[in-house]
């Protein structure tokens, strides 16, 4: 694979990745993909363009007319369980209190959750909402989330050079808002969409060689919850030292502000309280993290919640750390090449979530970027000569995964698991099928990223040996 050529425009930092064809293998392959894109655009430029646009417009209006009022209704009327904790922590900040203190938790009624489940930095983002009512906070945050969702989808569509990016992003947005996972997100006043937003911004800056801004964005993402810190390690593993330093500074600045008010004890109390919260939720049937899946596999025919196991936790922790270390080693070079950068970033996105302690439905917000990268990579691999056997398998799997993400509602899963062992044989089959579809998306997308990385890497090596000219330095 040809080395990347630096660009004076970016002062010797990470070279700017080509926007329209970031994972192209060679000039010949890029030309082929350009012709494919031009064909798609010419179809939309033909007389049928008006029909396609009108049909998409009707679909967008219909879906949003159905989904937006329901989303707003949930903001206004549902109890925002997760947002409540961060909202009270923000109030503690202005009152110069430690929200992790037992007396403060008793007064705010957060002790019923076993503790405060988010780090001290999360409350930073709720400081502007502290003076609002609980429903006012939930509604304000929900409106911001709706805006952030659309902006990140538009950025993804533009960066991946999808035809008619505004129309494509609008359709994708209209399909996403009415999904069960998004309703659950705004109902709880969760922060997965803001995390995903900053991850997408970081990806955008990395593609344009702006390492410092990319690192700062990832530092902000990690200040909501700690698991995006894995992507900060991605910066370090791929030699983006300035980006890593910027991410540490951005996170450290927010941590310093919150620690100055809450005190250092807040961090120790936070980690101490995670034990009680983990014992309560780690084995829940809705938890689709690696830890939760393994715990339920070793406890067959268990009800909706399985007690935590120390042995399982130790084994899972060792496997998770080793897997992340191997993944970082695997992408250390691939994460700097235009051919494989997007898929490397997507792989770490998936693994950072999957190896988190818990993964709920609203974490699907962080699957939007990896899912789009994998989908585009599959299409391009197909056009560049993917195996006839692998092609239909990958396309069908990708389609089923997107259907799973868009339609999965865990309400029935929780109901069935709560009835164990009083289930009929047919209900047993349904239960296990729902458990499978609940657990499938994250490891499946990670596996697709890994497989496509190997394929593009091998394709590029073969093209280099054939004398094709690399386009790695193009901008």
Same domain? For 228 and 337 the reply is no
Same domain? For 411 and 454 the reply is yes
Of 303, 286, 305, the residue nearest 418 (C-alpha): 303
3-state secondary structure of 305: strand
For 23, phi then psi, to 5°, come to -115, 30
Residues of the chain with pLDDT > 90, as a percent, come to 53
Is residue 29 situated within a structural domain?
Answer: no
Last residue of a domain, one of 261, 292, 308: 261
3-state secondary structure of 178: coil
Q: Into how many domains does the chain fold?
A: 2
Question: How many other C-beta atoms lie within 10 A of the C-beta of residue 421?
Answer: 8
**Predicted pLDDT at 38:** 41
Same domain? For 286 and 406 the reply is yes
Same domain? For 256 and 306 the reply is no
Tokens of 300: 């067959």
Same domain? For 250 and 342 the reply is no
Same domain? For 202 and 325 the reply is no
d(C-alpha 376, C-alpha 374), whole Å: 6
Is residue 303 situated within a structural domain?
Answer: yes
Average pLDDT over residues 175-181: 91
What angle (nearest 5°) sits at the alpha carbon of residue 212, between those of residues 210 and 2? 50
Same domain? For 154 and 70 the reply is yes
Which of 47-56, 109-118, 152-161, 293-302 has the highest average model confidence (pLDDT)? Answer: 152-161
Domain of 425?
Answer: 282-465
Is residue 125 situated within a structural domain?
Answer: yes
Same domain? For 158 and 306 the reply is no
Question: How many other C-beta atoms lie within 10 A of the C-beta of residue 444?
Answer: 17
Mean pLDDT of the chain: 83
Same domain? For 363 and 432 the reply is yes
Same domain? For 383 and 298 the reply is yes
Does residue 421 have a cis bond before it (omega within 30 degrees)?
yes
Is residue 405 situated within a structural domain?
Answer: yes
d(C-alpha 94, C-alpha 228), whole Å: 27
pTM of the model: 0.86
Is residue 23 situated within a structural domain?
Answer: no
Is residue 50 situated within a structural domain?
Answer: no
Last residue of a domain, one of 206, 226, 261: 261
Of 343, 335, 406, 408, the residue nearest 372 (C-alpha): 343
**Residue 92, class by beta-carbon neighbours within 10 Å (0-12 exposed, 13-18 middle, 19+ buried)?**
buried
Residue whose entry in the numeric block shows the structure tokens 């035809």: 163
Is residue 472 situated within a structural domain?
Answer: no
Same domain? For 199 and 333 the reply is no
Of 99, 116, 83, 114, the residue nearest 262 (C-alpha): 99
3-state secondary structure of 282: coil
**Predicted pLDDT at 56:** 78
**Predicted pLDDT at 46:** 55
Same domain? For 301 and 331 the reply is yes
Least confident segment among 29-33, 46-50, 128-132: 29-33
For 257-266, how does the pLDDT look when each residue is reduced to its tens digit (9 = 90+)?
Answer: 999 999 999 9
Is residue 28 situated within a structural domain?
Answer: no
For 443-460, how does the pLDDT look when each residue is reduced to its tens digit (9 = 90+)?
Answer: 999 999 999 998 888 876
For 67, phi then psi, to 5°, come to -85, -45
Last residue of a domain, one of 197, 229, 261: 261
d(C-alpha 97, C-alpha 81), whole Å: 21
């Amino acid at each position: 694979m040809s080395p990347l050529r630096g660009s004076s425009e970016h002062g010797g930092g990470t070279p700017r990745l080509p926007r329209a064809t970031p994972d192209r293998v060679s000039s010949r392959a890029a030309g082929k993909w350009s012709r494919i894109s031009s064909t798609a655009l010419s179809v939309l430029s033909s007389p049928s363009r008006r029909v396609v646009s009108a049909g998409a417009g009707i679909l967008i209006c219909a879906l949003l007319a159905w989904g937006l009022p329901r989303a707003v209704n949930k903001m206004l009327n549902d109890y925002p369980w997760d947002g409540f904790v961060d909202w009270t922590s923000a109030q503690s900040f202005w009152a110069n209190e430690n929200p992790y203190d037992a007396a403060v938790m008793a007064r705010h009624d957060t002790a019923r959750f076993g503790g405060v489940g988010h780090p001290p930095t999360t409350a930073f983002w709720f400081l502007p909402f502290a003076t609002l009512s609980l429903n006012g906070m939930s509604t304000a945050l929900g409106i911001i989330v709706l805006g952030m969702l659309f902006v990140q989808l538009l950025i993804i569509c533009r960066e991946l050079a999808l035809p008619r990016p505004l129309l494509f992003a609008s359709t994708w947005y209209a399909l996403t808002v009415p999904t069960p996972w998004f309703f659950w997100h705004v109902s709880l006043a969760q922060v997965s969409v803001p995390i995903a937003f900053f991850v997408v911004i970081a990806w955008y800056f990395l593609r344009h060689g702006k390492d410092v801004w990319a690192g700062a964005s990832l530092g902000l993402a990690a200040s909501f919850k700690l698991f995006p810190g894995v992507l900060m390690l991605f910066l370090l593993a791929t030699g983006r030292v300035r980006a890593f330093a910027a991410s540490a500074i951005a996170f450290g600045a927010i941590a310093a502000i919150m620690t100055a008010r809450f005190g250092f004890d807040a961090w120790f109390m936070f980690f101490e309280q995670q034990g009680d919260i983990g014992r309560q939720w780690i084995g829940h049937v809705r938890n689709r993290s690696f830890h939760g899946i393994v715990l339920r596999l070793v406890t067959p025919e268990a009800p909706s919640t399985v007690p935590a196991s120390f042995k399982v936790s130790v084994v899972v922790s060792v496997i998770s750390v080793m897997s992340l270390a191997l993944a970082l080693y695997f992408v250390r070079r691939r994460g700097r090449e235009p051919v494989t950068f997007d898929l490397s970033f997507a792989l770490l996105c998936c693994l950072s979530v999957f190896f988190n302690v818990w993964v709920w439905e609203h974490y699907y917000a962080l699957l939007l970027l990896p899912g789009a990268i994998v989908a585009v990579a599959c299409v391009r691999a197909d056009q560049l000569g993917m195996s006839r056997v692998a092609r239909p398998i990958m396309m069908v799997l990708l389609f089923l995964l997107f259907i799973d993400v868009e339609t999965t509602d865990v309400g029935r899963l929780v109901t069935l698991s709560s009835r164990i062992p009083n289930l009929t044989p047919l209900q047993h089959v349904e239960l296990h099928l729902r458990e499978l579809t609940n657990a499938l998306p994250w490891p499946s997308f990670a596996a697709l990223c890994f497989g496509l990385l190997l394929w593009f890497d091998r394709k590029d090596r073969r093209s280099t040996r054939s004398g094709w000219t690399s386009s790695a330095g193009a901008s």
